[in-house]
Structure 1
Amino acid sequence: MADNGAGRPDGGFCQVCPTLLYRDARAAIALLQDAFGFTERAVYADDTGRVQHAELSYGTGMVLLGSAGGEGAYATAMRDAGPTGVYVVVADVDDHYRRARDHNVEILMEPTDQEYGSREYMARDGEGNVWSFGTYAPGAAG
């Protein structure tokens, strides 16, 4: 895959990217980096410092985010949206869980072995979005 500037570590690009809006996008970026291990790839802010668009990667995946309450079609469509859920594949669930717990993230489910072979835990960020982390890799050859 050719690099389209999305900053994925393998030089490719993500074809599906969860997109979240936060009342405090700067705090969300800090939490995603510090507690969940994401890497900031780009942050674009307006003249007031309000985050218009940010890209954070984790492995070969990426999440896009920005500040809630903006203008335009997407902001209008998302205005009354509730929290969303995002699933992230991690190599070591227990280590990842400890990192999140050590950053005082709300844990919704401790690391648990699932019937389908995955080990997973679930957490909620400061604005109500639910993040699931596990060893199940959707689409991977079984």
Structure 2
Amino acid sequence: MAQSASICPSLLYADARAAIKQLTEGFGFTSGAVYEDASGLVAHAELTYGNGMVMLGSKMTGGDFDTLMAGAGPTGVFVHVDDVDAHHDRASAYGVDIVAPPSDKEYGARDYLARDLEGNVWSFGNYIPEVPDGPKG
């Protein structure tokens, strides 16, 4: 049975199709659902990586989320990967803008930073944040 993601970052792109291509081919995400609006824009897409998910869509659709996010700047998203260097090599070979190469951190983790086609910063590392037991949604 598939596991549900509790938290899903949501991003809007001027060119959502190009974002989907970069995230799947450059970063190794798996494309799930992709829904278009009547004009052919990506209204909603779901991409998974491990047990996490990111949702994205096109800017300028006029929807509530799009309207609320108007003028919002780039965001940052962290994604856990098992092999930081292999992930970096894949992204680099694809031509992703690597803004900080893989490096070891003082707290024992290893990560690198990349910028997507529209300026969002993605951090890929082997750090695994622990979620404390607490109320379930």
Q: TM-score range by the shorter chain?
A: over 0.9
- Aligned equivalents of 1:119, 1:28: Cα separation in 2: 25
Where does residue 63 of structure 2 map in the other structure?
A: 72
Q: CA RMSD in A?
A: 1.2
Aligned to 2:125: 134
Distance 1:75 1:97 in 2: 31
2:39 maps to what in 1?
48
Aligned pairs for 1:1-142 (under 5 A) are 11-139=2-130
Q: C-alpha distance in 1, partners of 2:105/2:131? A: 17
Q: Distance in 1 between matches of 2:117 and 2:63?
A: 25
TM-score by length of 1: 0.90
Deviations along 1:20-56, one digit per CA (max 9) or x if unpaired, are: 0000000000000000000001000023210000000
Distance in 2 (alpha carbons) for counterparts of 1:25 and 1:140? 31
Letter in 2 for 1:24: D
- Aligned with 1:101: secondary structure? helix
List runs of 5+ in structure 2 lacking aligned partners. Answer: 133-137
Which whole-Å CA distance do the structure 2 matches of 1:37 and 1:58 have between them?
7
User: In the TM superposition, what whole-angstrom CA distance separates every residue of 1:75-123 from its partner, at most 9, and x where no partner exists?
Assistant: 1110100000000000000000000000111111000000011100000
Residue-pair matches, total: 132
Q: What amino acid is the match of 2:2?
A: G
Moved over 3 A (4+): none
Partner SS for 1:100: helix
Q: CA deviation at 1:72?
A: 2.8
Distance (whole Å) between structure 1 residues aligned to residue 17 and residue 102 of structure 2: 28
Q: Give the gaps of 5 or more residues in structure 1.
A: 1-9
